[in-house]
Amino acid sequence: MWLYRLSSPKLFYHISGRVIPWLFLASITILVIGLFWGLLIAPPDARQGDSFRIIYIHVPSSFLALAGYYFMAGAGAVGLVWRTKISFWFMKSAASIGASMTFIALFTGAIWGRPSWGTYWVWDARVTSMLILLFLYLGVMAMIRAFDNKELGQKNGAILALIGTVNVPIIYKSVDWWHTLHQPATLKLTSDSSIHIDMLQPLLVMIVGFYLFYALTICLFLRAEILQHEQATSWVKDLCVRRLRKSG
């Protein structure tokens, strides 16, 4: 039942206020350790030299881009079933953050592509799938914001996110098939070189760091959403009054 109580915006606001400093500290520390380890200590790749090091941003962000879609759709489903307002706001925050993560993954992939494949962009199966994932995110974001009636927009956004989850495997499979059909002979992206343990360890650290950072940004976005939607309630007004008094 504690989860149900946490869905009260007021309670979530207060608890997250206490958690955020710790989340902030933990994520920044782990990200700094991971970056330091990955960029400076880990050995350079035998074939790609130092250019492979962008993997420490690229892989964690693509992990979160994919996982974030399911977080978003899951929150939308919870909102539709139990009609908790906060899950829709979670969904809205997850949509923006997930879209940014997808963009980061695509962008770092393009930068990485230049030294390793000689071109910024290729229509590889995975690149194309990520691009379509970005489109799906943008569609959900546009849907949530398109309606004057905010509640209706959030509901529709949640339904669209759920439709997307049904379609994601179909889209991925078909893009995969399409790519193997049109495979360009000159280019080999999925080289099956298993990653060395010295390179893997900082990568795992970075993935943990990215997850913590994701939780942190979700909390921050969600708090902003709560304040915006609950601005008419007495506890938000009290909060503002106290804030104003503190700052004089």
The residue ranges that bind other proteins (CB under 8 A) are 80, 132, 135-136, 138-140, 142-143, 146-147, 152, 155-156, 159-160, 163-164, 166-167, 170-171, 173-175, 177-178, 181
For the chain, report the end-to-end CA distance as a whole number of angstroms.
Answer: 40
CA dihedral (216, 218, 224, 227) positive or negative: negative
Nearest approach in angstroms of CB 125 to other proteins is 11
Please report how close the Cβ of residue 95 comes to other proteins at its closest, in angstroms: 13
Instruction: Pick the closer one to other proteins by CB: 152 or 240.
Output: 152
Q: What type of residue is 240?
A: C
d(CA 70, CA 81): 16
Q: How far is the CB of 58 from other proteins (least distance, A)?
A: 22
Q: How far apart are CB 85 and other proteins at their closest, in Å?
A: 14
Nearest CB to other proteins, comparing residues 66 and 171? 171
Residues sharing a CB contact under 8 Å with residue 103, sequence separation 6 or more, in sequence order: 134
Q: Where are the beta strands (DSSP E) in 82-216?
A: none
Whose Cβ is closer to other proteins: residue 134's or residue 218's? Answer: 134
- Tell me the closest approach of the beta carbon of residue 138 to other proteins, in angstroms: 6
110 CB-near residues (< 8 Å, 6+ apart): 120, 121
For other proteins, give the closer residue by CB, 117 or 135.
135
Closer residue to other proteins (CB): 45 or 176: 176
Q: Report the alpha-carbon distance of residue 74 to residue 41 in Å, rounded.
A: 38
Q: Which of 60, 57, 68 has its CA nearest to residue 141?
A: 68
Start-end of H helices in 45-124: 55-82, 85-117
Find the shortest distance in angstroms from Cβ 73 to other proteins: 14
| Minimum CB distance to other proteins smaller for 24 or for 147 | 147
C-beta neighbour count of 201 within 10 angstroms: 15
Is residue 14 within 8 Å of 222, Cβ to Cβ?
no
Rounded CA separation 181/203 (Å)? 32
| Residue 106 CB, nearest approach to other proteins (Å) | 15
Q: Considering the complex, state which of residue 51 and residue 156 has its C-beta at the smaller distance from other proteins.
A: 156
